[in-house]
């Protein structure tokens, strides 16, 4: 469920469904802490769970006070809504991309596609470079492998042109060399003056 009919505000550092699940577990740990505080015996101490940086930002941007029972409940509702409703895009790269790079992609998607979009990242070494992106019903291949495949006929034609041009050039060079050798043979075998012919 969204808060006041609005979806949760997700920080850029919260990228994947796994990140959302971590936040939900963290809130449950905080809730457990306060429940234990209510029933603990005098003199007992319970260690307060340490909030992660993602949780700090999430609570701040969604105006939640995690010391309040109602706000913790709202936080879980927001995260449950994200888990169930947020679009998830699966991206595959040839190598593991840096976290900052993925965050920039997520930031762009949330600005241009959907404010709650989540991204999962995986590896597919055979794509060469670029990425393959999959939604629930479409696949977009932005890989170098796909580019070469789409341009296959073009590359074959270019390669053919280079090979043919090179072969023709070598044929011309061979013809010129053969003519030159024939000319040299004629120059040696035929006398150039009548005196040489009498000899």
Whether residues 137 and 177 share a domain: the answer is no
d(CA 82, CA 87): 9
Sequence-ordered list of residues with C-beta below 8 angstroms from that of 69, at least 6 positions apart, any chain: 31, 34
Whether residues 98 and 74 share a domain: the answer is no
Is the residue at 195 inside a domain? no
Which structural domain, as residue segments, surrounds residue 92? 87-143
**CB hemisphere CA count around 149 (13 angstroms):** 8
- pLDDT, average across residues 167-187: 59
Angle value at C-alpha 131, between 125 and 137, nearest 5 degrees: 115
Quote the pLDDT of residue 142: 84
- For the cut 80, the answer to whether the pLDDT of residue 85 exceeds it is yes
Sequence-ordered list of residues with C-beta below 8 angstroms from that of 77, at least 6 positions apart, any chain: 1, 2, 3
Say how many domains are in the chain.
3
Structure tokens given for 14: 């919260």
* Residue that wins the pLDDT comparison between 167 and 148: 148
Whether residues 1 and 76 share a domain: the answer is yes
| Interval 30-72: pLDDT, tens | 988 888 877 776 566 666 778 899 999 999 999 999 889 999 9
Phi then psi for 8, rounded to 5 degrees? -65, 150
Is the residue at 117 inside a domain? yes
Whether residues 182 and 117 share a domain: the answer is no
pTM, two decimals, is 0.67
Whether residues 54 and 108 share a domain: the answer is no
Is the residue at 196 inside a domain? no
Whether residues 76 and 92 share a domain: the answer is no
Among 27, 32, 33, which residue's Cα sits nearest to residue 47?
A: 33
| Interval 95-151: pLDDT, tens | 899 989 899 999 999 999 999 999 999 998 888 788 899 998 998 888 877 666 666
Whether residues 55 and 91 share a domain: the answer is no
Whether residues 1 and 74 share a domain: the answer is yes
Whether residues 103 and 158 share a domain: the answer is no
């Amino acid at each position: 469920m969204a808060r006041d009919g609005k979806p949760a505000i997700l920080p850029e550092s919260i990228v994947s469904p796994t990140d959302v699940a971590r936040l939900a577990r963290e809130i449950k740990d905080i809730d457990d802490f306060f429940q234990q505080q209510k029933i603990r015996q005098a003199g007992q101490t319970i260690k307060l769970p340490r909030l992660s940086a993602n949780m700090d930002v999430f609570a701040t941007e969604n105006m939640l006070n995690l010391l309040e029972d109602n706000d913790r409940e709202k936080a879980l509702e927001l995260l449950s809504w994200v888990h169930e409703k947020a679009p998830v895009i699966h991206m595959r790269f040839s190598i593991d991309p840096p976290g900052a790079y993925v965050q920039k992609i997520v930031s762009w998607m949330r600005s241009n596609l959907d404010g709650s979009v989540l991204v999962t990242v995986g590896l597919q070494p055979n794509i060469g470079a670029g990425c393959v992106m999959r939604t629930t019903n479409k696949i977009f291949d932005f890989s170098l492998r796909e580019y070469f495949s789409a341009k296959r006929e073009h590359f074959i034609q270019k390669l053919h042109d280079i090979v043919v041009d090179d072969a023709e050039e070598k044929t011309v060079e061979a013809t010129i060399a053969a003519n030159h050798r024939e000319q040299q043979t004629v120059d040696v075998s035929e006398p150039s003056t009548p005196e040489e012919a009498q000899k």
